[in-house]
Structure 1
Amino acid sequence: MRAVRFHGREDIRVDEIEEPVCGNSQVKPDLHEYLAGPKTVPVHPHPVTGAKLPTTLGHEFSGTVEEVGSGVTGLEVGDKVAVKPNLSDGTCPRCQIGRINCCDNLGFIGYSSDAGGLSDHVVVDKKHAFLLPESIPLDIGALVEPLAVAWHAVSRIPIQDTDAVLVIGAGPIGLAIIQVLKARGIKNIIVAEVSERRRLFAQTLGAATVLNPTEVDVSAQVRALTGDAGGTDIAFECSGVQAGLDTAIASIRVRGTTVIVSLWEKKPVIDAFAVVLFEKHVTGAAVYDEADFHAVIGAIASGEIKPAPMITSKISMHDVVEKGFRALINEKDKHVKILIDINA
């Protein structure tokens, strides 16, 4: 079968590999849709899976079950599923207290294992396959994973529908957080984003106010917009740059909360003086829990979340490098999520 595999930095190939066999307590989806790719070079061999390069890519995907192993209940051939890809060792202190999303050796199907969504077929343990209602098509099902990241981030703190919320960065996760906030009844959503195209996406998906950090002082504007409150109740940092984190912390009110969602290539600096003097809170959000996947699927099925505008392009597997990865690098302002139709 075909599989898009990561051989090393800037070395991605469509290879012919052996089709996987479905074992006990596993399901085998025929794959249809995949989004995005790795943003950093994965560590191999991975301590949980033992996988070595080359590995098959694809950690945000959906498919149709074509085979179920013995011992599998709740899924049948023909069912549509979204895959929750995070892997854990089950033995570290974080796993022992049930926080597998914070595992010391966190890994992902399609990133740190031999299986991945960018292939004709994949075999996963049943616990990773989440049934999609008939009303959710496979392309939308492939969006469940990034939306679950956003759902988890919003769930990390108490939030009320009267809260003012700032989102720094309107990339894929920032845009997903806007949709989750809207589904939670938040109306006063302020977004700071440098890209004009992504500011338009933010407005389309539910932002009440959109600011361009290259033209205005975001913190000053936020304080003006929130009046006596002196800042937003909450800020989600989704930019992964120092200026974004600085703006998030500066823009929240006394005892407000900044949730850091983005991953960082360089270790950031936090203004501890502002945190102490104004009793501000800073917290993190890592990946998602099983409950987040169920919640997102339910919100999409009910119409509370309508993520179709996030899909900015659909391509075939043989175009994955030129129209997929390179487009996300060279034309990132034009795209949110690029889907790869494995059957095309």
Structure 2
Amino acid sequence: MERMRAVLVHDGVLAVADVPQPAPGPGQIRLRVTRAGICGSDLHVRLDPDASADVAAEVGYADFMRSKERVVMGHEFTGVVDAYGPGCRRRWRPGQAVVALPLIRHGGDVHMIGLSAKAPGAYAEYMLVAEDATMPVPDGLPTDLAALTEPLAVAWHAVARGEVTRRDPAVVVGCGPIGLAVIVVLKALGVRHVVASDYSAGRRELAWACGADVVVDPAVESPWAQLGDGPVTSAPALYGSGLDALHALRSVPGLPWWSVVGAAQRLGAGPRGAVVFECVGVPGVIDDIVTHAPFRSRVVVVGVCMQPDTFRPTLASNKEIDLRFSFCYDPAEFHRTLHLVARRRLDPRPLLTGVVGLDGVPVAFDELTRAGRHAKILVDPWRA
């Protein structure tokens, strides 16, 4: 049996090992991995996969990785077609650069690539993907950028969950890799005023590079003070605006003011808040956002918080805060993201801060746990 090099995690320890090269099954393609991204969720899962596995089991997936298993992680990747399994349509020639959704079937079961012992991921020289979930990389798209399709698709879906328009002020709380990707997507969609907030000077510099219009250190100044006078920030102002509009409309004899108000609401008029993206994932952040965000804000929770958390529902109700949660993306969003990057509509180049070989993965994980100069470190399995 052919062998290959891969990075295994076991009880939180990452180490390079010599393992069997995978053989593609029915409907599967073996890829020769060319790049893999280190995701923030990988950092969490490395140290405490059991908490994530318990949650996954609650939503019906029983095969999420556990600490006692030996797992090849890596669910952000690109590679070239190396071999087909039986029953494939062989859509692409050997050597064709592709990306794929990090999901694969073994028999009748669906598994999460890079997050299950049953679906080894991309921190390896070779890996398996589903042919139907594979998409060719457009000509001319650099390998490093193709590898960012998956995290950018996560950001695209999060922005879609926020239903952001160009005139909505947006606040990105936390400028780690996913927060930076959200900034890239917001600016690509033409959102005019994006405020980014992070305690790390290095991450603030990256937020500027990704296109944020205002970048703040929340230890020094409030991101909410950067939204201007548009959003409503107090109950008297909200109710007062309604009374002022009613006074103006009722001064016109015979005007059906209720119809005018209804039409204006359908057109999006009236008090609006900000669209806020929580990209931190630690307890207390949601409550802080609910406390300080303008009235009628839409809050999209993108950060993965593994501990129980609390916020004050009565405050959120009084301010009519929409609280939404975002996790993944659909295949069409993944495909759209790939082609937007290829057409330079999305420019994730500021996210790229390093490339390591398999032997450098443990150190890269340690670097990424510290909020510094790094955003996205890629793995090149063939790099010395």
Question: What TM-score do the two structures reach when normalised by structure 2?
Answer: 0.78
Aligned to 1:78: 95
Structure 2 counterpart of 1:58, one-letter code? G
Q: Which residue of 2 aligns with 1:271?
A: 312
Shift of 1:314: 0.9
Measure how far apart 1:241 and its partner are.
2.6
Q: Tell me, what secondary structure is at the counterpart of 1:55? A: coil
How far 1:144 moved relative to its partner? 0.9
> Residue by residue, what CA displacement relative to the aligned partner does 1:177-221 show, whole Å, maximum 9, x if unpaired?
0011111111200111111111111111110011111112333x1
More displaced 10-residue stretch of structure 1: 112-121 or 196-205 = 112-121
The answer on whether the counterparts of 1:235 and 1:251 sit within 8 Å (CA) in structure 2 is no
Matches within 5 A, 1:63-212: 63-69=79-85, 70-86=87-103, 108-112=112-116, 113-212=118-217
Shift of 1:27: 0.9
Share of identical aligned residues, percent?
29
Distance in 2 between residues matched to 1:73 and 1:128, nearest whole Å: 13
Measure how far apart 1:50 and its partner are: 8.8
The number of aligned residues is 325
Q: Is the 2:7–2:72 contact (alpha carbons within 8 Å) kept by the matching residues of 1? A: yes
For 2:32, the equivalent position in structure 1 comes to 30
Corresponding residue of 2:374: 335
CA shift for structure 1 position 90: 12
Q: How big is each residue's C-alpha offset from its partner over 1:267-300, in whole Å with a ceiling of 9 and x where there is no partner?
A: 2212212211121110100111112211111210
Secondary structure of 1:16's counterpart equals strand
* CA distance in 2: counterparts of 1:294 and 1:302, whole angstroms: 13
Letter paired with 1:72: R
Superposed CA deviations along residues 85-120 of structure 1, whole A, max 9, x for unmatched, are: 1469999xxxxxxxxxxxxx9962112134210111
Report the residue type matching 1:229 in the other structure: P
Alpha-carbon distance, 1:156 to partner: 1.2
Q: Which has the larger displacement, 38-47 or 198-207?
A: 38-47
Cα RMSD, aligned residues only: 2.5
Q: Which is worse superposed, 51-60 or 231-240?
A: 51-60
Amino acid in structure 1 at the alignment position of 2:366: R
The TM-score, its normalising length taken from structure 1, stands at 0.87
**What is aligned with 1:53?**
69
Determine the C-alpha separation between the residues in 2 that align with 1:87 and 1:68. 14
> Structure 1, unaligned stretches of length 5 or more?
92-104
Flag the structure with larger Rg: 2
Q: In the alignment, which residue of structure 2 is the partner of 1:3?
A: 6
The more displaced of 135-144 and 169-178 is 135-144
Match of 2:247 in 1: none
Residue 332 of structure 1 deviates from its aligned partner by 3.3
- In structure 2, the gaps of 5 or more residues are 234-272
Q: Is the 8 A contact 2:283 2:305 kept in 1?
A: no
Rate the CA distance shift 1:49–1:127 in 2: closer, same or farther, 3 A.
farther
Q: Which amino acid aligns with 2:365?
A: F
Q: 1:213 to 1:135 in 2, by over 3 A?
A: same
CA contact (8 A) 1:165 1:190 kept: yes
Render the CA deviation track for 1:18-60: whole Å, top value 9, x for unaligned: 1111222111110111121521233479724799711112111
* TM-aligned CA distance change 1:90 to 1:186, over 3 Å: farther
Structure 2 CA distance for aligned equivalents of residues 276 and 76 of structure 1: 56
Q: Which residue of structure 2 lines up, in the alignment, with residue 42 of structure 1?
A: 49
- In the alignment, residue 55 of structure 1 is paired with which amino acid? V
Name the stretch that deviates more: 27-36 or 40-49: 40-49
Q: Does 1:317 align with 2:358?
A: yes
Contact 1:3 1:15 in 2 (8 A): yes
User: Aligned equivalents of 1:107 and 1:26: distance in 2?
Assistant: 13
- Alignment CA distance shift 1:109-1:309 (3 Å): same
Q: Is the 8 A contact 2:64 2:112 kept in 1?
A: no
After superposition, residues 182-261 of structure 1 pair within 5 angstroms as: 182-219=187-224, 221-222=225-226, 225-230=227-232, 232-261=273-302
Partner of 2:261: none
Partner of 1:98: none
